[in-house]
Amino acid sequence: MSAIVGEDERGPVERLIGESLRAADPLADVVAEEVAGRPATRAELDAGLRHGAATLRGASAGLLALLEASEAAVRSVDDAVLDRDSLPFFTISLSGHAFDLGAGALIDSYRPPRSAEVLLGTGQLTEQVIPRLRETARWVSQVMVPGWLRPGQPGYVATVGIRLVHALVRRGAARRDPSSEHVPVNQLELARTWLDFTYVAMRADAAIGFDLTAEEQHSVYRYWQPVGRLMGVDARLIGDVTDAASARRLLQRTDDVFGPPSDASRRLTAAALSTISAELPSISVLTAPLARVLVTAVARRVHGRELSDALGVPPTGALQAAVPAAVAAVRAHRRVLRRRPRAWQRAVEANIAIARDFGLGAAGTVAPFESAAAS
């Protein structure tokens, strides 16, 4: 079956959409059962992620299958992609990414109502918002550092770990409500999450002045193809997503299926706005009150009035009118910096160094599936 993007006939596309709503991630789900039922599997998984499937002795067939598929997903990619295609991400500072990933991608990820209900069901994104958002930010840093997607490297280990977290969430949801026909964290939801970190994040960049060129966007989409494989996303869904137009078509199809935001979406959005605002002063010169107003204003600009209202993002009054001028100033500064290649390169290298340090922080030394093993 051909990929969903660019398919002219609606029949095959609609069938793939239907299949994706009912499809989970068999490779990861098998290992999730083992991790939940046999504590030693956790150590085996961690060792296999860090040192390779070939180093394991006596591991189960399911665990080896997941590890071998993950290694193949990365080793089939050109070195140039792994070493250079994430560089556009680092033309933006860590504080800038608080807006595109936080006010943009994260909030948009709460739009699908069933996904939001599953997240609320875990209790972790409302009771432990700050540590969970820090983990997400650390994961993105680990993923994007050049070279860190290779087997054994932090981005690789963390991403396959996130894949196991999703499988453990599915397992926990099924145990709580075995009669439910909804497959939590299904393939369509996984594809939409992938779009949040690619299309939505870059759309947010453009909305706040951190525009990427068309070629830079192509690079980011190429880089996120192996990331998607490591996340367990069906290649038929995202394999043809190479630019904003193809990504937008896929996002529109997913949102047509999922429907409008729910009360769970709004509760998660409110928690995210509060958390991002509380964290910004630690990585910028903003005060807490100004950070809250600015994050809210940016969120409304990124998502538009209709979706912002549906998600419960409140209006910001007069400040909203001042945002375009601030965006224009950011855009002008980037244009000037681009004309100074050495300064541009120094800024990129500095941002990579910050991401590397952040990615190697204390929480980054723990496989992410450990904290979800009891879900």
The whole-angstrom separation of Cα 256 and Cα 35 is: 35
pLDDT at 250: 93
Residue 372 confidence (pLDDT) above 70: no
pLDDT at 320: 77
d(CA 290, CA 288): 6
Contact yes or no for 284/95 (Cβ under 8 A): yes
- With cut-offs at 50, 70 and 90, classify the pLDDT of residue 373: very low
pLDDT at site 243: 97
What is residue 275's predicted lDDT score, i.e. its pLDDT? 86
pLDDT of residue 319: 76
Name the one residue in this structure whose structure tokens are 């941002």: 351
Mean pLDDT, residues 336-356: 97
State pLDDT tens for residues 290-319: 888 889 998 999 999 999 999 999 998 877
Average confidence (pLDDT) over 206-226: 97
Per-residue pLDDT band for 284 (boundaries 50, 70, 90) equals: confident
Q: What is the model's pLDDT at position 129? A: 65
pLDDT value for 123: 62
Q: Torsion over CA of 221, 224, 228 and 231, rounded to 10 degrees?
A: -150
Structural contact between residues 192 and 20, judged by C-beta atoms closer than 8 angstroms: no
Q: What's the half-sphere exposure (Cβ side, CA atoms, 13 Å) at 19?
A: 14
**How would residue 62 be classed by pLDDT, with cut points 50, 70 and 90?**
very high
Helix residue spans in the chain (DSSP H): 10-22, 26-37, 40-51, 61-75, 79-84, 94-97, 107-109, 113-122, 124-127, 129-144, 154-176, 187-195, 201-207, 214-231, 235-238, 244-258, 263-279, 288-311, 318-338, 341-359
* Model confidence band, residue 365 (pLDDT cutoffs 50, 70, 90): very low
pLDDT category of residue 323 using cuts at 50, 70 and 90: confident
Q: Specify the residue for token string 């993923």.
A: 143
HSE, side-chain direction, 13 A CA sphere, residue 267 = 16
User: Of 1-15, 37-51, 110-124, where does mean pLDDT reach its minimum?
Assistant: 1-15
For the cut 60, the answer to whether the pLDDT of residue 45 exceeds it is yes
Model-level pTM greater than 0.85?
yes
Alpha carbon distance 351, 94 (integer Å): 7
262: three-class secondary structure by DSSP:
coil
Q: Residue 10: CA atoms inside 13 Å, Cβ hemisphere, count? A: 1
Across 325-331, average pLDDT: 92
- What residues have CB less than 8 Å from 277, skipping those under 6 apart? 288, 291, 292, 295, 296
| Span 108-164, pLDDT tens digits | 999 999 888 877 776 655 556 677 778 888 999 999 999 999 999 999 999 999 999
Average pLDDT over residues 336-350: 97
Angle between helices 214-231 and 61-75 (to 10 degrees): 170
Percent of the chain with pLDDT over 90: 66
pLDDT on residue 364: 41
Q: Quote the CA–CA distance of 305 and 359 in Å, as a whole number.
A: 35
